Amino acid sequence: MKQIIDTKKIENAASAAEPTLAATTRIPKIRRRISIAERMCEIAKKDLSNMPFFTLLEVAVHMRFSLRTIQRLVAKKELRAYRFSNSLRIKKQDLLSYINARCA
C-alpha cells in the first residue's frame, strides 16, 4: 500500500513554521527629545523649596532669566556653581546670597 503525500499540507506547514517579516523585524524605540520649553514647564510646576542644589535651567526658570544669562553669571564667577560629574549645580544658599547682594 503506497502512501500518497499531500504537497499542499507540507507547503502550508512549512510556511506556518517560518517566521513572518513582522515577527523578525525589530522596530527600534524612538526616544523623543524633550525641548527646553517643555523642561521649563516641568520645572515651573515643581516645588524647589526643599532642594539643596539647583540646575542652571531651574535657576533660570525661577529667576525668569535666560539660560545663557545664568551661564554667563557662572562664567564671570558672580554666581558660584559646583560641578557634579558632567553637570553644573548651584547651591541654594549661594543663589540666595547672590539675590540678596543684588537687591541690597
Question: Is 26 inside a domain boundary?
Answer: no
Residues 98, 78 contacting (CB under 8 angstroms):
yes
Question: Is 80 inside a domain boundary?
Answer: yes
The total of structural domains in the chain comes to 1
What's the confidence (pLDDT) of residue 67?
A: 93
Distance CA 46, CA 73 (A): 24
Question: Is 3 inside a domain boundary?
Answer: no
Question: Is 22 inside a domain boundary?
Answer: no
Question: Is 7 inside a domain boundary?
Answer: no
| Identity of the amino acid at 69 | T
The confidence band for 80, taking pLDDT boundaries of 50, 70 and 90, is very high
Question: Is 18 inside a domain boundary?
Answer: no
| Model confidence pLDDT, tens digit, residues 10-60 | 555 555 555 555 555 666 666 666 676 777 677 777 777 788 899 999 999
What's the confidence (pLDDT) of residue 55?
A: 92
- Print the domain residue range for 92: 36-103
Question: Is 70 inside a domain boundary?
Answer: yes
Question: Is 25 inside a domain boundary?
Answer: no
pLDDT score of 76 more than 90: yes
The CATH number that applies at residue 92 is 1.10.1660
Q: What is the mean pLDDT of residues 71-86?
A: 94
β partners of residue 55: 89
Give 30-77 as a DSSP string: P-PPPPHHHHHHHHHHS--TT-SEEEHHHHHHHHT--HHHHHHHHHTT
What's the confidence (pLDDT) of residue 14?
A: 54
